[in-house]
Amino acid sequence: MEYGFTHYILLRFYQPMVISLGGEEIVTEKDAYIIYPPYARQLYRPLSGGFTNDYVRFFADESFIKSYDLPLNEVFYSSNNSEPALCISMITWMLTDVMHDHGEEMAEQLKAALKSLQENMIIVSAKSFREHLRRKQFANLREQVRADPVGWTVEKMAQKVYLTRSHFYSTYKEQFGASPADDLMRFTMDRAKKLLKETPLQVYEIAEQCGYMNSNNFTRAFKKYTGVSPLKFRNGG
């Protein structure tokens, strides 16, 4: 097992099931999905008779799972069941073909299944829906800041999503694994590096385009972040 990677299980039930979650029994409709995270108790039974299911067990780190914004240990549904089913079937077949290494192909099929579920997910609980909207709101904000980091502060980012600074900070770090301040610096320095490599602008002009009114402050910040001065970075040092 690679460091930081743990196993998850993606299940699709073809018949209505009774699934125990958080001490409660939930009766599902047919074609219910659930992703069990590491160490989660897997307690389920058919509502009546037998049952059929598709499943795939996979190893992943937390950032991989978060990138698909799918609920964990919670029932959800999809408006498109054929694509995930086909991907899971392909993975199952590849696992039986011991004569060939299908590692990369299985990884691509897994990504395709998760992407389809993400795009076609039907959320059933109000709490999960609110959390989904919040994660999407934060993701949109982050992309907005990444595209143009100038003028943003942690306080302005928090105001954008109507949260206090402390609540925003903890929620942001939980979702992305980095603090908003760290991301602001990274996005700003990414812009600076791009301008240094791709334009003939002077350092003071790049400093201004990165939100620094003083080029000396920009140079100090750039050197602290990258380990080299802006000019040395431009010259390949």
CATH of the domain at 212: 1.10.10.60
- Whether residues 45 and 107 fall in one domain: yes
DSSP class of residue 124? -
pLDDT-based confidence at residue 231 (cuts at 50, 70, 90)? very high
Do 206 and 196 contact (CB within 8 A), yes or no?
A: yes
Over range 90-97, report the average pLDDT.
Answer: 89
Q: Which of 5, 140, 131, 142 is nearest to 72 (CA)?
A: 131
What's residue 127's pLDDT? 72
Over range 87-101, report the average pLDDT.
Answer: 88
Quote the percentage of the chain above a pLDDT of 90.
Answer: 66
Over range 7-19, report the average pLDDT.
Answer: 93
Q: Which of 40, 95, 31 is nearest to 72 (CA)?
A: 40
**pTM beyond 0.85, yes or no:** no
What's residue 150's pLDDT? 95
Decide which of 217 and 139 is more confident. Answer: 217
- Residue 74 pLDDT more than 70? yes
- Whether residues 171 and 134 fall in one domain: yes
pLDDT-based confidence at residue 3 (cuts at 50, 70, 90)? very low
What's residue 27's pLDDT? 86
- Residue 1 pLDDT more than 50? no
In a domain, 1, yes or no: no
Domain boundary among 124, 154, 170: 124
Over range 29-33, report the average pLDDT.
Answer: 90
Instruction: Count how many Cα atoms sit within 13 Å of the Cα of residue 15 in the half-sphere of its side chain.
Output: 11
Residues of the domain holding 170? 129-181
